[in-house]
């Protein structure tokens, strides 16, 4: 890939991450305001997919052409990047919804959800590299 194209791609990814962080407070307010079953289910599915991809990244490599990990790596392609970009939002929604269902005040639930999702922002780039590396078989 050309150097300018790489720089442009990195700039787009940084912009998307900044937008994701900026949208966390309104998202936490939305999630903590009322119980939303569909929002919680989607958020938990994204978190589960991210954990599954990281587990595949840590598992011993079984990458030969035609193996299930090779097929999985080819099928997912850019999905680890997209899933881990959505991870902070999913963590925000899941934590705000679970705290609101537990009876925590709305403002405390929003603040806690924001703090937890900011931690997910720090973890997401490393988890993306781990899962992508594991799916491609380059981590061995």
Confirm whether 124 is domain-assigned: yes
* Domain membership of residue 129 as a residue range: 35-136
Confirm whether 11 is domain-assigned: no
Confirm whether 60 is domain-assigned: yes
Q: How many Å separate Cα 120 from the centre of its chain?
A: 8
Condensed to tens digits (0 to 9), the pLDDT of residues 58-100 reads 666 556 666 776 676 666 666 777 778 788 889 999 999 999 8
pTM (2 decimals)?
Answer: 0.72
**8 A C-beta contact, residue 132 and residue 84:** no
Condensed to tens digits (0 to 9), the pLDDT of residues 110-140 reads 999 989 988 888 888 777 777 776 666 666 5
Residue 134: its pLDDT value, please? 65
Residue 41: its pLDDT value, please? 92
Confirm whether 96 is domain-assigned: yes
Confirm whether 110 is domain-assigned: yes
Phi, psi angles (nearest 5°) of residue 23: -85, -5
Confirm whether 64 is domain-assigned: yes
Give me 89's structure tokens.
């939002």
Confirm whether 119 is domain-assigned: yes
How many structural domains does the chain have?
1
Looking at the predicted structure, is the pLDDT value of residue 39 above 80?
Answer: yes
């Amino acid at each position: 890939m050309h150097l300018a194209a790489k720089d442009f791609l990195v700039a787009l990814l940084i912009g998307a991450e900044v937008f994701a962080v900026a949208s966390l407070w309104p998202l936490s307010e939305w999630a903590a305001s009322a119980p939303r079953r569909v929002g919680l289910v989607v958020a938990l599915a994204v978190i589960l997919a991210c954990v599954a991809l990281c587990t595949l990244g840590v598992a011993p490599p079984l990458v030969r052409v035609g193996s299930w990990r090779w097929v999985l790596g080819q099928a997912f392609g850019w999905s680890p990047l997209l899933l881990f970009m959505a991870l902070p939002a999913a963590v925000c929604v899941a934590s705000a919804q679970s705290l609101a269902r537990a009876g925590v005040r709305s403002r405390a639930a929003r603040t806690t959800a924001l703090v937890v999702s900011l931690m997910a922002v720090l973890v997401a780039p490393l988890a993306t590299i781990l899962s992508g590396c594991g799916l491609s078989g380059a981590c061995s």
